[in-house]
A and B are shown apart, each in its own frame.
Chain A
């Protein structure tokens, strides 16, 4: 480290945020490796995406604030982009999994009177049973 850090408190905050972000990164990847079913595996990397990368990006932002004295906000751009795209990605992966597992008849029961939402449309929906839109 050749860059001077002015305050010890700032250094401690940056190191703590780095440790927290790294912890959540490894927890997310470990969950992706060890959890038994895909729906549970889908849950683990969201921690890595939001808390892990978020912590490391805030640490980077604070580090450059303490080093140069100027606020740099373009790390927030990556955080905002990841926060916006993580639900879309999880939704697309879950829907792809549901449609592929339905072909193999291995979906678990929903535990409710209605089925999975992408196959069992509610009242007033104009979608057909197989999840495709009418006219296709």
Chain B
């Protein structure tokens, strides 16, 4: 039962990643692309968590936490750059 749910989950999150990539390529504005990158990071965290369940190891959690943190910092840095033209003033 869990194997079927994991397969559906991998497929759904994979399609979500593809949608984010399409928005990243289309995105009419730079803010759209920053938002697509942020959602891409969230999808990556979900994929890593699904991989952790599929392999039944707890070794991937640090990677997921690191990717979530770097995604947040990257998005905020992008927004600061778009707002002020500089990341650290």
State which of A46-54, A108-116, A119-127 sits at the interface with chain B.
A46-54
How many A-B pairs with Cβ below 8 Å?
Answer: 162
Contact of B46 among A1, A56, A64, A89 (CB under 8 A): A56
B side interface size, CB within 8 A: 50
Q: Interface SS of chain B: helix, strand, loop or mixed?
A: helix
* Given known A38-B32, A92-B80, contact A85–B72 (CB-CB < 8 A): yes
CB–CB B39/A32 < 8 A: yes
CB–CB A100/B61 < 8 A: no
Indicate if B5 sits at the interface (CB-CB under 8 A).
yes
- Looking at B13, B20, B31, which has the most chain A CB atoms within 10 Å of its CB? B31
Closest to A88 in B: B76
* Given known A45-B38, A97-B31, contact A29–B16 (CB-CB < 8 A): yes
Contact of A74 among B38, B50, B56, B61 (CB under 8 A): B61
